[in-house]
Structure 1
């Protein structure tokens, strides 16, 4: 039942970069911080997250004493760390937390980030309020935030990761990955529409 409920979430990807940093390991894990979502930026799926979209959800989570989960590739069976701080500012959704290196998957995540093999964050959310503008762009004005994952494929290139061991950016590879992520997102929407039409 949880799996069916969770599968209804939408995902929004962001490329980690200069705004996200990975710190040194400690007993409490490896620190990671940056932006999981940027406001007023059109992503590969044609959506724009508006300023204030997360405010109500973050307040509700705080009031209930709940937290946004840090997952690996949106898999609810694979939490890999703790988000200690999530807040909106003028730029977007800022996150700060720890990858738990006592977990094997946490150690693997650190190694993959440092090697440049993983460089994306993605939010798992439900759309509460949205509308389309005259150009057909979906403007997301209120989102119910569930989790922020470390992922392989980014959709929002404006947010980037700089890990100490990472080499030079490869724009052509970035473009190819964004196009692939867009194609995967389109395929996911088509499959979802087919499932709904079968019902």
Structure 2
């Protein structure tokens, strides 16, 4: 965990490969509720609600950054919302930004696939196992990262114009699933 001026960011290495569909639209879960990350933190349901409401009320958005670097915005989050599973994000990498083009290329190649949140803890408690339960956080940004602290925080990239029933996509998914099963043996 890195902390600068109260902003917390989490990084962690994980091993699962991501199935990436080509393109510059990305979506995924930046945080999952009730999942313990590598630092012993567990985000509780509703932890983002006040922050998201405050941002919307002020006409501001959660920023999309490259590796938590505030000097490197790479796109726009079109949707950031809590659902029953966690913090779902959907957005676009900006092709007009050099790092946005680089991020798209790395996603398409499968070299990167992590999502990570930058936030300030507003309210937290400890459970009987010593884990920090994040009850309320002020969300500042969601970054595309190499190593997210929560291994399940992943992005799924795809072209905006890609049809869901696309035969080639389905075929690629079958091959990727088969490759994972063979590697697991």
Q: TM bucket by the smaller chain? A: 0.7 to 0.9
Hey, what's the Cα distance between the residues in 2 that align with 1:21 and 1:34?
11
Hey, what's the Cα distance between the residues in 2 that align with 1:54 and 1:117?
29
Residue by residue over 1:22-58, the C-alpha shift from the partner in whole angstroms, topping out at 9 and shown as x without a partner, is: 553xxxxx21111110000001000100000000000
> What's the Cα RMSD here?
2.9
- The reply to whether residue 120 of structure 1 matches residue 118 of structure 2 is no
Q: Which has the higher helix share?
A: 1
Q: 1:161 to 1:20 in 2, by over 3 A?
A: farther
Hey, what's the Cα distance between the residues in 2 that align with 1:19 and 1:54?
26
The equivalent residue for 2:6 is 8
Hey, what's the Cα distance between the residues in 1 that align with 2:19 and 2:41?
22
Which TM-score applies when normalising by structure 2? 0.77
Contact 1:69/1:82 (<8 A) preserved: yes
Match of 2:90 among 96, 102, 107: 96
- Runs (5+) with no aligned partner, structure 1: 25-29, 173-199
Hey, what's the Cα distance between the residues in 2 that align with 1:9 and 1:97?
22
Which TM-score applies when normalising by structure 1? 0.72
Count of residue correspondences: 161
The equivalent residue for 2:63 is 69
The equivalent residue for 1:43 is 37
Hey, what's the Cα distance between the residues in 1 that align with 2:142 and 2:20?
16
- The reply to whether residue 156 of structure 1 matches residue 150 of structure 2 is yes
Match of 1:57 among 47, 51, 66: 51
Residue by residue over 1:75-96, the C-alpha shift from the partner in whole angstroms, topping out at 9 and shown as x without a partner, is: 1110000001111000000001
Deviates more, 1:116-125 or 1:54-63: 116-125
